[in-house]
């Protein structure tokens, strides 16, 4: 009997699918003339997992474990024929079958932890019985997806075929007439406590110690001590608890927000131009990072810098990046030489003539950028697209001085450019639709997450970050200290607090930006002088040994500096502010509220079209913890009325200059 799951586009295991499967299995059991069954997916894939749109409500019967029980309890063999992906519940269903056959290239995995849950249909109980505890911890806790050949090596599938999946599955099923091969009957291979501890510690570190990772380890280890039915019941109970948690809801929100973003990005009225050859202007950290990102994605890259030493350093950074990956076994020697065969460098502007896309990543100074764009125009092909990687300069002004501003746009990478997922695509007044579509397609090809921003100061991310930094400075004046704010945010899930970040980037950079903007500042607006005072004292952050913290040479991390606290207290006193204690919750709430307020401004000002894009930008470019969903998710959880009350309070404590936004726009989809 052939049982086909047909629920496009990805055959998600919805209630109807589970009902259909259970019905078919019962029918197969009841018909004595049928000797074996094959479960297969229609369309481009097997089952990509449970339908997570159902996950915010109580799950309707039959649950997936009931379907898998029916397969195991069936007296006749049931084979899974797999193609596309077999993920989550789809893979768990396959593990409940008596044999598995897959097309070349099929992908397997239990990605549940990435959704804040654990496998809930036996994944943590059957996988270890097959491949052992350590390997299961590695795969389940990282949500790793593996290809068919690795699955075959691990013994997870019986056979890989190049074509005729159903024909080959029938042959395999026929060979199994009269037999059952249940994974539940296997005993988990023995392991040592030391090996399990090492695998667990590694997984917890990688998984940021999140509750679903801890639970997954506990469940996997249960297979060494508990009978399978007991283990399965405990697994399901833990899955149900996690499924209903806010953290899992936030991760589902992020999942669907990203899908919506990519769908929206695809709906552009212009065709992207083909891009093969990239020129990167400027061989600094950013330029070489961009070069690495482009090389790794398969592009030909030339990097240009007129300073010979800077160019040599940039080239070295690129070569070292691949040398380190080669040494650690992440890449083969052949791959490195193939990658570097596409890489060249030059001090000559003539080297950019064959580039389809030219990315400027030079010093953040508008005069320098104007000069660079003039040079680019003199040498680039007339149909090449020109992008600036500026973080805060006016790209319209840069474009206005070029002969053809329609081909100029922003490609704002985040440092390190070869790692960070976010790219802001800045659409200027004259940017053509083709340039935007090409920028998007290029960013996607790099494996990045692009969000489209209008050309405003700070674009999307830095506008939100600036608003949040300002609140942090307000709190310093009102009674908090840098280490307290940093700790509150690190405990919340950020990799680093804002003051440690400021010290790392260098306080002088923001200082010179503030000086250049001082003329536009309204004197009646609240302005915190603490960062300026630190800079006047020569405290430029890590590079000068002092900033918000001290950095003695022998200390690996920032040390709290009492003299900074004296500067802060003096600033409060100078303004007549009575300092009050802040709790961790006060600090975090105030920061999130300031982000929500700024996002509402961005929507009203038409800088970004969809509020959820801001959450995606913060998670992928600013270290906002994904499992918190993002400020928009949090706002929607709070509700419009509570948010309005809280924002009114924020406006009062923030004082003159704080502009409360119309947050209704956050609640529109
Ligand atoms: N539930 C509901 N919808 C899903 C879904 C899921 N598990 N996975 C994907 N979709 C939807 C997407 O939202 C999208 O919908 P749209 O067309 O309306 O926007 C559509 O399917 C296609 O998805 P993608 O745009 O992501 O298509 P791709 O081809 O790029 O990728 C994929 C397909 C590899 C299947 C990818 O979507 C994916 O990785 N999905 C998540 C898989 C997963 O996490 N499975 C585990 C679920 S939890 C579980 O099984 C619990 C169990 O242990 C009990």
As for ligand 1, residues whose beta carbon falls within 6 Å of it are: 9-10, 12, 48-53, 64, 85, 87-89, 92, 111-112, 115, 119-121, 123, 256, 259, 263
Q: Which helix (H) or strand (E) holds 398?
A: helix 395-400
Are the beta carbons of 253 and 632 closer than 8 angstroms? Answer: no
602, pLDDT greater than 90: yes
Pocket test for ligand 1, best of 17, 18, 47, 49 (most atoms within 8 A of CB): 49
**pLDDT tens digits, one per residue of 499-558:** 999 998 889 988 988 888 888 889 899 999 999 999 999 999 988 899 999 998 877 789
pLDDT band at 423 (very low <50, low <70, confident <90, very high): very high
- Collapse the DSSP code of 659 into the 3-class scheme (helix H, G, I; strand E, B; otherwise coil) and give the result: coil
Ligand 1, atom 39, lies closest to the CA of 48
- Residue range(s) of every CATH 3.90.226.10 domain in the chain: 2-244
Return the pLDDT at 411. Answer: 97
Cβ neighbors of 200 (< 8 A, separation 6 or more) are 137, 217
Q: 152 alpha carbon to ligand 1 midpoint, in Å?
A: 24
Q: What percent of the chain has pLDDT over 90?
A: 92
The contacts of residue 585 (CB under 8 Å, 6+ apart) are none
Residue 412 has φ and ψ, to the nearest 5°, of -90, 105
Superfamily designation of domain 2-244: 2-enoyl-CoA Hydratase; Chain A, domain 1 (3.90.226.10)
Predicted confidence (pLDDT) at residue 266 exceeds the cutoff of 70: no
CATH 3.40.50.720 boundaries in the chain: 277-455
Say whether pLDDT at 268 is over 70. no
Establish how many alpha carbons lie within 13 A of residue 532's alpha carbon, considering only the half-sphere containing its beta carbon.
Answer: 9
Give CATH 1.10.1040.50 domain extents, the chain: 462-667
Which residue's alpha carbon is at the smallest distance from atom 20 of ligand 1?
9
Helix orientation angle between 461-478 and 640-654, rounded to the nearest 10 degrees: 60
Instruction: Report how far apart, in Å, the C-alpha atoms of 176 and of each of 67, 169, 180, 417 are.
Output: 21, 11, 8, 52
- Say if pTM beats, i.e. exceeds, 0.85: yes
| CB-based contact 369:390 (threshold 8 Å) | yes
CATH number of 277-455: 3.40.50.720
Q: Which fold would CATH assign to domain 462-667? A: 1.10.1040
Residues assigned a catalytic role: 92, 112
**Helix 123-131 and helix 211-222, axial crossing angle in degrees, nearest 10:** 60
């Amino acid at each position: 009997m052939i049982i086909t799951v047909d629920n496009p586009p990805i055959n998600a295991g919805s209630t109807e699918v589970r009902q259909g499967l259970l019905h078919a299995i019962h029918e197969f059991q009841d018909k004595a003339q049928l000797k074996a069954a094959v479960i297969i997916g229609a369309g481009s894939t097997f089952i990509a997992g449970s339908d997570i749109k159902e996950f915010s409500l109580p799950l309707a019967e039959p649950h997936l474990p009931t379907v898998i029980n029916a397969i195991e309890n069936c007296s006749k063999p049931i084979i899974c024929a797999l193609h596309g992906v077999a993920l989550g519940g789809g893979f768990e269903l396959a593990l409940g079958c008596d044999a598995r056959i897959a097309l070349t290239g099929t992908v397997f995995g239990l990605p549940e932890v990435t959704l804040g849950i654990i496998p809930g249909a036996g994944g943590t109980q059957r996988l270890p019985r097959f491949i052992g505890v350590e390997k299961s911890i590695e795969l389940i806790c990282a949500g790793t997806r593996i290809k068919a050949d690795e699955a075959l090596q691990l013994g997870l599938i019986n056979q890989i075929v190049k074509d005729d999946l159903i024909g080959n599955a029938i042959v395999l099923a026929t060979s199994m007439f009269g037999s059952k091969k249940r994974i539940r009957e296997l005993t988990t291979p023995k392991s040592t406590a030391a090996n399990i501890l090492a695998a667990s510690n590694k997984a917890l570190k990688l998984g940021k110690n999140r509750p679903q990772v801890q639970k997954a380890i506990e469940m996997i280890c249960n297979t060494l001590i508990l009978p399978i039915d007991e283990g399965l019941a405990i697994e399901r109970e833990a899955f149900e608890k996690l499924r209903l948690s806010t953290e899992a809801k936030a991760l589902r929100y992020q999942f669907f927000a990203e899908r919506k973003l990519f769908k929206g990005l695809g709906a552009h009225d212009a065709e992207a131009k083909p891009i093969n050859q990239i020129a990167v202007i400027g061989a600094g950290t950013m330029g070489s990072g961009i070069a690495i990102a482009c090389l790794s994605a398969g592009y030909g890259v030339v990097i240009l810098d007129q300073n010979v030493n800077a160019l040599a350093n940039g080239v070295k950074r690129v070569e070292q990046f691949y040398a380190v990956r080669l040494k650690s076994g992440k890449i083969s020697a052949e791959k490195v030489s193939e990658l570097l065969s596409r890489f060249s460098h030059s001090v000559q502007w003539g080297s950019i003539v064959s580039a389809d896309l030219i990315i400027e990543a030079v010093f953040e100074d508008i005069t320098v950028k104007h000069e660079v764009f003039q040079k680019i125009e003199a040498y680039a092909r007339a149909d090449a697209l020109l992008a600036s990687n500026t973080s805060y300069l006016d790209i319209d002004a840069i474009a206005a001085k070029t002969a053809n501003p329609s081909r100029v746009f922003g490609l704002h990478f985040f440092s390190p450019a070869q790692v960070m997922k976010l790219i802001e695509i800045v659409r200027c007044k004259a940017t053509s639709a083709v340039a935007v579509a090409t920028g998007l397609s290029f960013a996607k090809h790099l494996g990045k997450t692009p969000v489209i921003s209008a050309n405003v100061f700070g674009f999307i991310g830095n506008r939100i970050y600036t608003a949040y930094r300002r609140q942090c400075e307000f709190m310093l004046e009102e009674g908090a200290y840098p280490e307290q704010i940093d700790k509150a945010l690190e405990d919340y899930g950020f990799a680093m607090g804002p003051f440690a970040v400021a010290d790392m980037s260098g306080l002088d950079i923001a200082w010179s930006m503030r000086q250049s903007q001082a003329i536009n500042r309204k004197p009646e607006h609240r302005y915190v002088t603490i960062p300026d005072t630190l800079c006047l004292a020569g405290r430029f952050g890590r590079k000068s040994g002092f900033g918000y913290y001290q950095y003695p040479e022998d200390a690996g991390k920032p040390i709290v500096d009492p003299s900074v606290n004296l500067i802060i207290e003096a600033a409060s006193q100078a303004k007549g502010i009575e300092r009050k204690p802040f709790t961790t919750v006060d600090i975090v709430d105030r920061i999130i509220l300031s982000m929500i307020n700024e996002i509402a401004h961005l929507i009203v000002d038409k800088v970004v079209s969809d509020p959820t894009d801001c959450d995606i930008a913060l998670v992928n470019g600013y270290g906002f913890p994904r499992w918190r969903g993002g400020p928009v998710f949090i706002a929607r959880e709070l509700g419009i009325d509570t948010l309005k009350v809280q924002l009114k309070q924020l406006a009062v404590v923030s004082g003159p200059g704080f502009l409360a936004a119309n947050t209704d726009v956050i609640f529109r989809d």
